[in-house]
């Protein structure tokens, strides 16, 4: 986000292009360092594992359940692309769904080799800003799309605490924390979809100027999507699509749990999956490898599941992620005509 703000709204985006080029010039050292941290985290999890038991668990995985989990992940990518399209519509931009799906699948593919699970968003935002006439406004919708995903995860986590979390944390903590997350989602939605954020924008802009993230002479109209026309209902519908998309991720984990013959309830996965996702946001490792297994071992262990099941589940999720990344790379190679464009010249 600071990289986008520092471009000063230029549609050619020379600064961002320079950063992207610098990243591509020497990716090997960064990749080796991230692999080292991933292996270090994996070692911390695997040192107390019975590998004979782990091998038996993975060998007993039924291929059908694994294929269903990969299909759920691909369906998530389709829903996530549609969510992004709705957010673009809310801010007076549009593009072909297949073009947006192509950009999204590239971000999945690139994200497989970048730290955290959101590294591919950089590539998606760069494409959104540089391909077509949507400009930086289109790129910043990627940030809003990611925030929408975060709100969806918080909503599902609150639901999971109500369904099953109280058995572990107690009624008072589970219900209080669920109420807090529901409130955060509602307040954030109101801020993003109303004039509240417009009134806060001058303060935010001065913050960026103070820390030299933007030039004081840069016109805010060019760099902030909230200053453009806004349609409420597409943005509201995007929130619903986001919840359905992340429910598919929970369903993916549930199919893998079934394939491992584990007794973890679906209700527990509603809060465990978002919690593990927060673990993978730590900017170390590659595509959440290591942090994902560590999170699985911690949270599944808290509900009484064995460490071997937790690690096996983390491994299967990582494999399914890499499979979708390969599919994403292949899909991006397919040439498609289209661009992100403003809906009208007035916008």
Q: How confident is the model at residue 13 (pLDDT cuts 50, 70, 90)?
A: very low
Amino acid 1: pLDDT: 43
User: pLDDT band at 12, cuts 50/70/90?
Assistant: very low
pLDDT of residue 160: 87
Residue 271: how many other CB atoms lie within 10 Å: 28
pLDDT tens per residue across span 65-90: 999 999 999 999 999 999 999 988 88
246-296 pLDDT per residue, tens = 999 999 999 999 999 888 888 889 999 988 888 777 766 667 778 888 888
- Alpha helix ranges (H) inside the chain: 2-5, 14-25, 27-46, 51-59, 63-90, 97-111, 120-130, 135-160, 166-169, 171-192, 195-210, 220-223, 232-259, 266-280, 291-302, 307-333
User: Cα(65)–Cα(252) distance, rounded to whole angstroms?
Assistant: 9
Mean pLDDT to the nearest integer, 47-64: 88
The answer to whether 19 touches 3, Cβ cutoff 8 Å, is yes
Predicted pLDDT of residue 132: 56
Q: Find the angle CA(212)-CA(224)-CA(185) to the nearest 5 degrees.
A: 105
Residue 225 has pLDDT above 60, yes or no: no
Distance between CA 142 and CA 137 in Å, rounded? 9
99 band by pLDDT with thresholds 50, 70 and 90: confident
Mean pLDDT of 52-75: 91
pLDDT of residue 135: 57
Assign 3-class secondary structure to 176-217.
Answer: HHHHHHHHHHHHHHHHHCCHHHHHHHHHHHHHHHHCCCCCCC
> Between 191 and 159, whose confidence is greater?
159
Calpha distance 265→240 (Å, rounded): 24
Report which secondary-structure segment, H or E, holds 342: strand 341-342
Confidence class of residue 41 from pLDDT cuts 50, 70 and 90? Answer: confident
Q: How far apart are CA 54 and CA 76, in angstroms?
A: 29
The per-residue pLDDT of the chain, averaged, comes to: 75
pLDDT at 347 over 50: no
Phi and psi for 212 in degrees, rounded to 5? 60, 30
What pLDDT, on the 0 to 100 scale, is given for residue 213? 43
Of the candidates 176, 172, 90, the residue with the CA atom closest to the CA atom of residue 134:
90
Confidence grade of residue 313 (pLDDT, cut at 50, 70, 90): very high
**CB environment 142-156: b (16+ within 10 A), e (fewer):** bebbbebbbbbbbbb
Residues 8-34, mean pLDDT to the nearest whole number: 53
More confident residue, 5 or 282: 282
More confident residue, 133 or 279: 279
By the 8 A CB rule, do 41 and 290 touch? yes
Closest-CA residue to 276 (of 255, 260, 297, 305): 297
Confidence of residue 342 (pLDDT cuts 50, 70, 90): low
Residue 102: pLDDT band by 50, 70, 90 thresholds? confident
CA distance 241 to 312: 30
Of 5-9, 17-21, 119-123, the least confident? 5-9
Question: DSSP class of residue 340?
Answer: B
User: What is the tens place of the pLDDT at every residue in 145-179?
Assistant: 888 888 888 888 888 888 888 777 777 777 887 88
Report how far residue 275's alpha carbon sits from residue 294's, in angstroms, rounded to the nearest whole number: 11
Tell me: pLDDT of 140 over 60: yes
The per-residue pLDDT for 252 is 93
Tokens 């009208």 belong to which residue?
Answer: 344
């Amino acid at each position: 986000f600071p990289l986008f703000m520092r471009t000063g709204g230029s549609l050619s985006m020379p600064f961002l292009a320079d950063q992207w080029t610098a990243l591509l010039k020497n990716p090997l050292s960064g990749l080796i360092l991230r692999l080292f941290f991933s292996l270090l985290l994996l070692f911390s999890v695997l040192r107390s594992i019975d590998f004979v038991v782990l091998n038996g668990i993975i060998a007993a995985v039924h291929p059908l359940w694994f294929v269903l989990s990969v299909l759920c992940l691909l369906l998530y990518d389709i829903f996530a692309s549609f969510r992004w399209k709705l957010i673009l519509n809310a801010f007076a931009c549009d593009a072909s769904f297949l073009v947006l799906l192509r950009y999204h699948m590239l971000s999945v593919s690139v994200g497989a080799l970048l730290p955290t699970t959101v590294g591919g968003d950089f590539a998606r935002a760069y494409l959104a800003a540089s391909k077509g006439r949507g400009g930086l406004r289109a790129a910043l919708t990627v940030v809003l799309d990611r925030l929408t995903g975060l709100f969806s995860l918080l909503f599902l986590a609150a639901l999971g605490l109500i369904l099953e979390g109280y058995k572990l944390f107690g009624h008072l903590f589970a219900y209080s924390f669920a109420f807090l997350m529901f409130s955060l989602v509602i307040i954030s939605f109101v801020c993003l979809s109303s004039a509240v954020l417009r009134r806060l924008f001058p303060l935010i802009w001065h913050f960026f100027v103070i820390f030299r993230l933007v030039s004081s002479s840069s016109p805010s109209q060019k760099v902030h999507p909230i200053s453009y026309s806004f349609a409420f209902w597409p943005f509201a519908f995007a929130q619903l699509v986001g919840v359905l998309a992340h429910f598919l991720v929970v369903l993916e984990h549930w199919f893998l749990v079934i394939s491992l013959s584990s007794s973890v309830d679906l209700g527990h996965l509603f809060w465990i999956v978002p919690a593990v996702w927060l673990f993978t946001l730590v900017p170390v490792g590659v595509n959440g490898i290591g942090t994902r297994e560590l999170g699985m071992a911690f949270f599944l262990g808290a509900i009484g599941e064995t460490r071997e099941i937790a690690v096996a589940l983390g491994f299967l999720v990582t494999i399914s992620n890499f499979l979708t990344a390969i599919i994403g790379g292949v899909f991006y190679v397919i040439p498609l005509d289209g661009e992100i464009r403003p809906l009208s010249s007035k916008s």
